[in-house]
Structure 1
Amino acid sequence: MSNFQSIIDRFEIEALRGEFTDAGMMRDYGRLAALFTEDGVVRILHINAEAVSREEIRAGVERLQDLWDYFVQTTHPGTIQLEGDTALGRAYICELGHLREGGSQLNYGVYHDRYRRTEDGWKFAERVYEVRYLDTTPLTGSAPSA
């Protein structure tokens, strides 16, 4: 692989990670699920959740997002290790939100990712979310009224 192709691959994988966060924040669950391979997997370790396939991923994310009055996720660049048409990586996450039932969370975590190049570009083959810090102290802010 040329250095130029490596740069392109890294750029495309970073864009994929940004698309994931944007799709989640915009509640565009179809777009979010399409970022995965057909047999893609999401695992959220601290709640023992797993979704296998685009359909399960879409349904699972929609179900989880419906629990939130508001939810904000930011993604920070991590590592990317290219291995031909596959890659491994980590992305660092900060999330905060207020649950519809009350309660709020601020957490910092890591996505442990596996990526696969497809004819439609790079996709997630697997995302495993590991929370590294969780604070359930009530958040003092709120989402502005529309």
Structure 2
Amino acid sequence: MLAESPTGSPAGEEVAMALTLEDREAIRDLFARQNLAYDRREAERTAAMFTEDGVLELIGPDWAFRHEGREGLETYMRRLFEVTGDDYRHWTNSLAIEAVEGAPDEARVECYIAAWGMSDGVFRLAGRYFDHLRRVDGEWKFAHRRYEGEWMHPDQGAVRDELSE
């Protein structure tokens, strides 16, 4: 969008537009819906929250996975849900949402992610998400989601190994 900047730059010069409160709330809602779909093991619904060309990267100290495209993401999610069962609950918090300069339909988000096992109450993993979002047909979606694992319970190594096969 073209506007005069608060510093008085010439009219017609492109400046970053702030995200609206509605944008910010829609982005928070995307994160909540993603957690719920993930915990309910809804692979198709989880993948649909990504753009058609969406990317998911999962990075740990000695492992990395990358999945691309909605179909690839859905396939990965189905496999992940087979391996992990339905015992996990995920929480994202401290969402830092930023506009992308010159791209009113894009945003960046950094936040914390943690997961617990519900049957045993064991803390399973902790890390951060670094997300690039894109608004498509009025709806915010993940264009690129990168998880950086900071801690993982020792029993999660078996899950990681099974997903590597």
TM superposition score category, shorter chain reference? 0.7 to 0.9
> Post-superposition shift, 1:133?
1.9
Output the CA distance in 1 between the equivalents of 2:70 and 2:155.
34
- Aligned runs of 1:27-46 on 2, under 5 Å? 27-46=41-60
**Corresponding residue for 1:80?**
97
Larger strand proportion, structure 1 or 2?
Answer: 1
What is the RMSD computed on CA atoms of the aligned residues? 2.2
Decide whether aligned partners of structure 1 residues 137 and 122 sit closer, same or farther in structure 2, where only a CA change above 3 A counts: closer
What amino acid does structure 2 have at the position aligned with 1:26?
R
User: Alignment length, in residue pairs?
Assistant: 132
> Post-superposition shift, 1:106?
1.7
Output the CA distance in 1 between the equivalents of 2:82 and 2:123.
15
Which consecutive unaligned segments of at least 5 residues does structure 1 have?
Answer: 99-103, 139-146
Q: Does 1:21 align with 2:35?
A: yes
Instruction: Return the TM-score normalized by structure 1.
Output: 0.81
Output the CA distance in 2 between the equivalents of 1:53 and 1:120.
20
> Post-superposition shift, 1:96?
2.7
**Corresponding residue for 2:79?**
63
SS state at 1:111 partner:
strand
Decide whether aligned partners of structure 1 residues 43 and 122 sit closer, same or farther in structure 2, where only a CA change above 3 A counts: same
- Aligned runs of 1:117-132 on 2, under 5 Å? 117-132=135-150
Query: What percent identity do the matched residue pairs reach?
Result: 30
Output the CA distance in 2 between the equivalents of 1:36 and 1:120.
14
CA contact (8 A) 1:43 1:49 kept: yes
Greater gyration radius: 2
What amino acid does structure 2 have at the position aligned with 1:49?
F
